[in-house]
Structure 1
Amino acid sequence: MKVIVASMSKCGTKTLHKCLETLGYTVADFDHHTFQDREEWEKILIYGSSSEQFYKMYKDIDAVCDAPAFYFWEEIATAFPDAKVILTTRSDEHAWVKSFQDQMNGFSSSWLVRLCYNLTPTGRQARDHTRRFGRVLFSIPPQGMFQVLYQPNKDLLRRRYREHIASVVSRCSEDRLLLFDFRDGWKPLCEFLGKPIPDQIFPHENKAGKISSTVWDLEPFRRMKRELYFGAAIISAFASISCVVLLKMIV
């Protein structure tokens, strides 16, 4: 583990993910935490964490970002004392809440997402996992992230945002922390990480929450769709056979 992105979701984490990959790092993002390390994260979210757990999970990964890893940045930093920490923010907590809620609304308004999260094995696992996020990250009764942010307690979310940023800034040593502004481009990021500046335009990922439409490119979500279509095919075949049998009985 070389880099810990302590930024909250919707603070440019997908842009940082792209930057780090461009610089040659392997990155564990939301989908990695939710699907590949789901069992380990469930233990952490329910029972608490240890340095040994984080070391085991991420010893072969260069960088982590997004939920729920950002919330445990300090514990991960303890497990990897040489890792550097990057923090990005929105213009203020109001802009963050709006951006996060807009993205969640994009997910929750999709019937395909709703069907996958409720009718497929992979989707139900993800649904149950994100319910724990709401309890741990926002200290609210267990419910899905879609529900949390579709009708959120905005006062609580803004407080969480402020508290998280204050915690990172006050508790991470200055020589280990980069407060990164995307408007500054590659230079401060590359200098902080000791990397040459890439010969390409600085990226801007997940603009206006577009990930809600591109998330289906990820393998776990493609698997959800396959499971959904397979289940629909089984139901359709069963219905057809039942109709044939019923017709024969009538005739």
Structure 2
Amino acid sequence: MKVIVAGMPKTGTKSMNAALKKLGYSVYDFAENAYLLGDYYNKIVFEGWTTQDFRDMYEDVDAVTDFPAHFFWDEIHKAFPDAMIILTTRNSEEEWLRSFEKQVAMNDGSLLFNLMPYLSPTSRKSIGALMMLSQVVFGAKAKSILARKTEFNKQMAVKLYRQHNAYVLHTAPKDKLLAFNVSEGWGPLCEFLGVPVPEDPFPHKNKGGNIVNTATTDFPIFRQIQREIIVSSIVLSSSAVLTGFVLYKYGVSGIFSEARNFWDILATKIGLSRLS
């Protein structure tokens, strides 16, 4: 682990993900943190953690950004004390809140994001931990019922944003910390990391919360989740059609009769007496 991006979501974390990849770093963003490391985060949230847990999670990764890893930035830094820390921020708390509200609304309106907890085993693996952490980190209650809007306290969200930033600025080693706004571009970032400035413009991702439209393109894990949703939908649809056909052909009483006949045949073959 070489770089820990400790900034809250909606502070340019998707842009940082793209920028660090452009600089040659392997990066775990939200998708990888939440879904590839889902078992670890379930253990961390519900049972506790050790420094070794975070060392095992990120020993083969160059950089980490976004939720839920940003919340554990100091624990990750204890596991990798030589890593550099970047606190991404917005121009103001009000700007951050508007961006956060828009992202929540976009997520709530996404069919993919709505179906994930129900039809994707990969998503379900970490959903419990993510829902609990959402309340702690954002003051937001992640929805647990399909098509139900996410609820969050705006004042609490801003307070938590302020507290998180203050904690990073106060706690992180000053010689390893960069407070950074992605609008500053490559200059301060590359100087801090000691790497050459790329010729390409600094990337700006997830504008207006459009990650819901680009997730399957930008993150391979979301393509896996999408495939799981499709397969689960086909299985459920086929099961519904088969159940409807059986009910139409035999009726409820007919199904019980067929099941009883099947048991009689099976019982005869294995030498069991018929159940009365």
User: Same fold by TM (over 0.5)?
Assistant: yes
One-letter code aligned to 1:72: F
Query: SS of the counterpart of 1:85?
Result: strand
Task: Flag the 1:163–1:198 CA change in 2: closer, same or farther, 3 A.
Answer: same
* Separation in structure 2 between the aligned mates of residue 169 and residue 215 of structure 1, nearest angstrom: 31
Deviation at 1:62, TM superposition (A): 0.6
AA matched with 2:25? Y
Measure the CA separation in 1 of the matches of 2:250 and 2:149.
Answer: 52
Distance 2:52 2:147 in 1: 33
| Unpaired runs of at least 5, structure 2 | 252-276
Taking the aligned partners of 2:249 and 2:141, their CA distance within structure 1 comes to 53
Is the Cα contact below 8 Å between 1:134 and 1:148 reproduced in 2?
no
Partner residue, 2:224: 223
For 1:52, the equivalent position in structure 2 comes to 52
- Mapped to 1, the partners of 2:29 and 2:148 lie a distance apart of 21
Report the equivalent of 2:40: 40
Amino acid at match of 1:107: N
Matching residue of 2:110: 110
Worse overlay, 218-227 or 70-79: 218-227
Provide closer, same or farther for how the CA distance between residues 232 and 37 of structure 1 changes in structure 2, counting only shifts above 3 A: closer
Q: Secondary structure at the match of 2:202?
A: coil
Residues 6 and 168 of structure 1 are in contact (CA less than 8 Å); yes or no, is this contact kept in structure 2?
Answer: yes
State which drifts further: 225-234 or 68-77: 225-234
Matched, 1:98 2:134: no
CA 1:118–1:246: 2 relative to 1, 3 Å? closer
Cα 1:235/1:179, change in 2 over 3 Å = closer
Regions of 4+ moved over 3 Å: 138-144, 146-150, 235-250
Distance 1:79 1:178 in 2: 19
What is aligned with 1:17?
17
Moved more, 157-166 or 97-106: 97-106
Which has the higher Rg, Structure 1 or Structure 2? Answer: 2
User: Against the structure 1 CA distance between its residues 131 and 194, is the aligned structure 2 distance closer, same or farther, given a 3 Å change threshold?
Assistant: same
Paired amino acid for 2:220? E
Superposed displacement of residue 246, structure 1: 5.6
Which amino acid in structure 2 is aligned with residue 178 of structure 1?
L
Cα RMSD of the aligned pairs, angstroms, is 2.6
Return closer, same or farther for 1:223/1:246 CA change in 2, 3 Å cut-off: same
> Which is worse superposed, 105-114 or 170-179?
105-114
* Displacement after TM superposition at 1:142 (Å): 7.6
Pairwise CA distance, 1:249 = 5.5
Q: How far off its partner does 1:47 sit?
A: 2.6
Secondary structure of the corresponding residue to residue 40 of structure 1: helix
Aligned to 1:188: 188
User: 2:140, 2:150 within 8 Å by CA — same for their partners in 1?
Assistant: no
Change over 3 Å in CA distance of 1:235–1:31 after alignment to 2: closer
**Taking structure 1 as reference, are residues 103 and 91 closer, same or farther at Cα in structure 2, changes over 3 Å only?**
same
Give the direction of change, closer, same or farther, for the CA distance of 1:142–1:120 in structure 2 (3 Å limit): closer
Opposite residue 129 of structure 2, the aligned amino acid is H
8 Å CA contact 2:119–2:229 kept in 1: the answer is yes
Task: Give the aligned residue type for 1:114.
Answer: N
